[in-house]
Amino acid sequence: MRNFYLFLICFVGFISPAFAKAPSAEEINQRGFGTIFTPHMFVMEWSQDHGWHNARIQDYKPFSFDPASLHMHYAQTIFEGIKAFRMTSGECALFRPRDHLKRMNSSARIMSMPEIDVDEVLIYLKALVSLDADWVPGLKGTSLYIRPSMIATEATLNLKASEKYTFFILLSPVGSFYQNGFNTVPIFVCDQYTRASFGGVGEAKTGGNYGAGLRAQKLAKKEGCAQVLWLDPQERTYVEEVGTMNIFFVIDDEVVTPALSGSILAGITRKSILALGNKWGLNMSERKISIDEVIKAVQEGRLTEAFGTGTAAAIAPIGKLKYKGVVYTINDNQVGPITQSLYDALCGIQYGTEQDEDGWLELIE
């Protein structure tokens, strides 16, 4: 299979040799997230006349776009975040890449952008990772972050769906999210700003959603918290997401996460945690949950754990909630047993120390 990938690379175009040396896992851990990039990238274009075409793996280098390109003016942009892991066997594997690429097509539909062929793009993605396989770090907690993106490139100031697009994939080795240990973080409950609206683009991974959240993130930092807990955009009553992650609460014997409502991203890690919990016989629930229910459960000692889920951190334990000036502590600010078990199991599958019973890993051969 590796020979097929290499043949494909040669077929799509000449690739210059990579002279850059892959950083060590220790060096990667010292750098910030998304600041190191591998020597190669994948690119292809779309037009109404030709569809997707000119697929190629090329040297990592800047793009050149017309200043009137639509993505710069009307935010027709979408992206995904996938990870590749160096397993204990030495093999490299992608975690649920098909689910991520299918979700990218969902974002494309929401943003009036062309869909990709999941199977075809996955072949190119594997070829790219295979070419830069030396850049997949081997230290536990590290990984190769993969950023597929699509932007509108037609040059016009007319407000409309673009007739030209560029799709590209970047690779970035990233360090451990928990270099100082798997510890809880404090969260600020924001009832002043909202992340997304019903019937809008909240369930799409589009750049504007994330840029719009920076104002609340600054407020959370000012309040001494690591992230924002978003409430629904209409009543400011129901919990939606935490930062850029989905959120779970353990209340009595229920592990509950907000139901997908159209303004909540359908997280792949969220989906994985639900599957693991159901397999273990936990009472996993997807439903509306109000911030009042959450606070009351904390006060009564019935909310014993809370955690966020997402590609970057996998699972992020939550130890405190700050709401309307009052700090509510969960489980004495300690990581709970369900949170820890789910984190260990998920990481075990990703690094190959636990059996992948559901076929979530795709090997780079």
- Distance, in Å, from the CA atom of 161 to the CA atom of 271, rounded to the nearest integer, reads 31
Lowest-confidence range among 30-39, 58-67, 184-193, 195-204?
Answer: 195-204
Please state, in angstroms and as integers, the Cα–Cα distance from residue 156 to each residue in 12, 179, 180, following that order: 30, 46, 48
- Distance, in Å, from the CA atom of 135 to the CA atom of 174, rounded to the nearest integer, reads 10
Give the pLDDT score at 26: 83
Residue intervals in the chain for CATH 3.30.470.10: 2-176
Contact 81, 206 (CB under 8 A): no
Question: For domain 2-176, which architecture applies?
Answer: 2-Layer Sandwich (3.30)
Give the pLDDT score at 16: 56
Q: Which residue has the tokens 């397999």?
A: 279
Q: Is the dihedral of CA 223, 228, 234, 238 positive or negative?
A: negative
Give the pLDDT score at 190: 96
Mean pLDDT of the chain: 93
Give the pLDDT score at 4: 55
Q: pLDDT category, 32, cuts 50, 70, 90?
A: confident
Q: 12 pLDDT exceeds 50?
A: no
- Cα-flanking dihedrals φ and ψ of residue 155, to 5°? -90, 100
How large is the average pLDDT for residues 254-263?
Answer: 95
Specify the CATH number for 185-351; select among 3.30.1310.10, 3.40.50.12780, 3.40.980.10, 3.20.10.10: 3.20.10.10
Q: 8 pLDDT exceeds 80?
A: no
Classify residue 133 by its DSSP letter: G
Residue intervals in the chain for CATH 3.20.10.10: 185-351
Give the pLDDT score at 5: 52
Q: Which residue has the tokens 């959240």?
A: 213
- Distance, in Å, from the CA atom of 122 to the CA atom of 359, rounded to the nearest integer, reads 16
Report the percent of the chain where pLDDT is more than 90.
82
pLDDT tens profile 64-102: 999 999 999 999 999 999 999 999 999 999 999 999 999
